[in-house]
Chains A and B, each alone.
Chain A
Amino acid sequence: MTVPSMSLADLQRTMASAVMQPLTAGENMRAKSRDGRPMRKVAASFIAPNSNLTPFERLEIYNRQYWYRVLSALAEDFPGLRAVVGSRKFHALSVAYLDAHPNRSFTLRNLGSHLAQWLAANPKYAGRRHALAVDVARIEWAFVETFDSAEDTPLTAEQIATLDAGSKLALQPHLQLIPLSYPADELVLNLHQRDKKQTSEAGVASEEDEEPPIALPHLRKKPTWLASHRVDFSVYYLRISREEFSTLAAIRQGIGLADALATGFVGSRIPAERRAAQVQQWFANWAELGWICTPPLESIIKD
């Protein structure tokens, strides 16, 4: 058999396109490629048969393994979302999401980085619990970020003594700020406990078992501001006020300290005379938790 010559880059693109194309409902490789060519022809254009398998069958192994791996990794990072929407819907949304946002990283750790945003824009995949599902996805992705993001050295007393109104600060990289429509943090923790219990009882995760959406406690919609962060290698979720959230978000955006404080109180109902005491308490708590750092040197030089 003569195989037409192909550059390495073309070969990699052809292979990736074939492997990353979603499987059929029966978990087989599709008969046609994305551009409509028969997959048998596509496979034969760059894969040789062996004594047991045709090029199509050899390629299909990799096509399946890619999807089994990424679906499994995504399910592992979003057990709460899976419980909220049910396993069937979760499978469909995972395939659609991964087709829209295929893995672009050397590590599967980043697989779910766009999931919450994608789900917010694609409500049909979540069903009637859409807003809650987006919240759960946000909390679960924040866990991934908080779990292994870097930890910078917090501000020292000497550095604080040099600050003024225009000083720009930075937040601890592992601190994640999560705006929610529901107070869903406790729910996610409970769902993870449930998932952990099921996993340890069954020995392996039950990703392949079909599970309907679980019955949830009644949760009323209520704007909630959550911070996920790490203390001594453990991840914590802390509810904060809207004003705290806005101030922290402004600091993260690189806004100077005085303006960040003003931003935090835009539209606030906290009486003016109580604000200073609140601010002092927030900053004391943030400092104690090590959340406030100096901005990276590059951003100071750029300014």
Chain B
Amino acid sequence: MKNQLNAALLTAALAGLMGGTVAAHAATTANSTNGPIVKAMNAGLKYSSDKPAKHSCKGKNDCKGQGGCKSSDNGCKGKNSCKGKGGCATDGSHMPKFA
């Protein structure tokens, strides 16, 4: 009985996977603009992030003229250029490359 149930769950999982994959493929190939909309309908609550960039030294004038104040623009935060590539630096820095 337990084995039957497990087999039914496995069959259901594989059927679901196949169905969802075919549906996703169909949505993106039939009309490339509808695919994302169909996906987003089942995706949940959307978070929109378009924060203005900030400067960490703003308002802190005690380093003026003495060196050591870097007014980075927080790099790619809130911008999409690094999405999906990993390693978005909050301070706009990049990993140093060593020779």
Contacts and interface: CB of A to CB of B under 8 A. Distances in A.
Candidate in B38, B44, B69 with the most chain A CB atoms within 10 angstroms:
B44
B90 A232 contact: no
A42 interface: no
Top 9 A-B residue pairs of the complex, sorted by shortest distance between their CB atoms: A287-B20, A238-B44, A283-B16, A108-B90, A284-B20, A107-B89, A280-B16, A284-B16, A280-B12
A148 B85 contact: yes
A87 to B, nearest CB: 15
Contact of A200 (B14, B52, B74): B52
B25 A157 contact: yes
A163 to B, nearest CB: 6
Interface size of B as a range: 35 or more
Main secondary structure of the interface of A (DSSP, over half): helix
B17 A160 contact: yes
Given A64-B62, A283-B17, A287-B24, A277 B12 contact: yes
Nearest to A195: B51
Given A65-B68, A283-B12, A284-B23, A292 B36 contact: no
Interface of A: 52-53, 58, 61-62, 64-65, 68-69, 72-73, 76-77, 106-109, 111, 143, 147-151, 154-157, 160-161, 163, 165, 174, 185-186, 189, 192, 196, 199-200, 204-205, 208, 227, 229-239, 257-258, 261-262, 265, 272, 275-277, 279-290, 292
A148 B87 contact: yes
Given A76-B74, A148-B88, A106 B96 contact: yes
B50 to A, nearest CB: 8
Contacts of B24: 154, 287-290
Contact of B80 (A106, A161, A233): A233
A19 B69 CA distance: 14
A261 B12 CA distance: 10
B11 A148 contact: no
Nearest to A139: B47
Interface string B65-83: 0111110001001001011
Contact of B88 (A64, A109, A192): A109
A291 to B, nearest CB: 9
A62 B45 CA distance: 41
Contacts of A275: 5, 8-9, 12
Given A185-B45, A287-B20, A165 B10 contact: yes
